[in-house]
Amino acid sequence: MPAARAMAQRAAPGPAAALAPEIEDYLRHLAVERRLAARTVTLYREALQRLQDSAALEAVPLRQAQPHHLRGWAARLRGSGLGPRSIALALAAWRGLYRHWGRHGEVAANPVAGLRAPKAGKPLPKALSVEQAVQLAEHAQARARARGPQPKTEAAADARLALRDHAIVELLYGSGLRVAEILGLDLRASAQAQREGHGWIDMADAAAHVLGKGSKRRSVPVGRAALAALQAWIGVRAQLARGDEPALFVSRRGTRLSAGQLRLRLKAQSQASGLATPVHPHMLRHSFASHLLQSSGDLRAVQELLGHASITTTQVYTKLDHQHLAKVYDAAHPRARRKSP
């Protein structure tokens, strides 16, 4: 046993070296010029750290790496237990780095160009049923109403946050926004919002103007329930927000709400509402799309509302719709189920 333990310790990798300055420059390019979401940049950073570590292990300068090197390093990803989707993301990060260097004449060819990740199955997105989505929204509404107006105390701050959380749930489910889109909303349109790539709510027009993936702007209708929840939140927002904070949704500290804070609050709400499965924000976006398609059957409209560049991305919801119809058929049609012998 001691010998085996010593062998394992020798095989264990040491602490990762800091990323090279040229890789940090590329990540800054993604964050500032390409305006990729902070979460995406974080995932790319992790992938590029793996690339740098693999190259260091074989003493291969990254700019001199050849396709056979990259194939071996990609195989190492799979051997480490990464799934097809994670490998695909890592290869995208590697490919992007070499493409960036190629544009600046720092490499002659992209050694990742011919590499493909193993095929992954396409699991259906997880969506709530209509009843579950309404249960969550109504719980958030009841919680917000129960708090009521209070003096300036810790309990008063909680009451205002309950109004904020209700507005977020109604927007996520009622408009199908992404996390980055909802957190990127400002209270109102401004030159600063345009310059910083933010969206805003137009209460008069009942619309959310958001900046989606690929820096594409779109306008999404805001329903009556969401408008009412937003009105209630905006009425108390100034009591939490810092004076110069443009964000529509702010934290207890008065600054723009973070994705992590939103996820934690939504998870807590879903559990408090009695739902068996913790709800994450994207589940409400899936629910929005699935329920809208079930009601309208208009796939193209759902694509526009979600901001999908390709309708093939939206078509996954037709499978959810088929599942829903199959359940309705099984439950209602007299010939749906065979009688037990």
The catalytic site residues sit at: 178, 213, 282, 285, 308, 317
Task: Say how far apart CA 86 and CA 43 lie, in whole Å.
Answer: 9
DSSP bridge pairs for 250: 256
Q: Measured between alpha carbons, how far is 149 from 202 in angstroms, rounded to an integer?
A: 26
Structure tokens at 201: 């709510």
Could you give the CA distance from residue 203 to residue 226 in angstroms, rounded to a whole number?
Answer: 10
Cβ-based neighbours of 177, under 8 Å, separated by 6 or more = 171, 208, 210, 220, 285
CA dist 6 and 264 (Å) reads 41
Q: Which of 154, 136, 158 is nearest to 146 (CA)?
A: 158
- Which residue type occupies 47? A
CB 193 within 8 A of CB 181: no
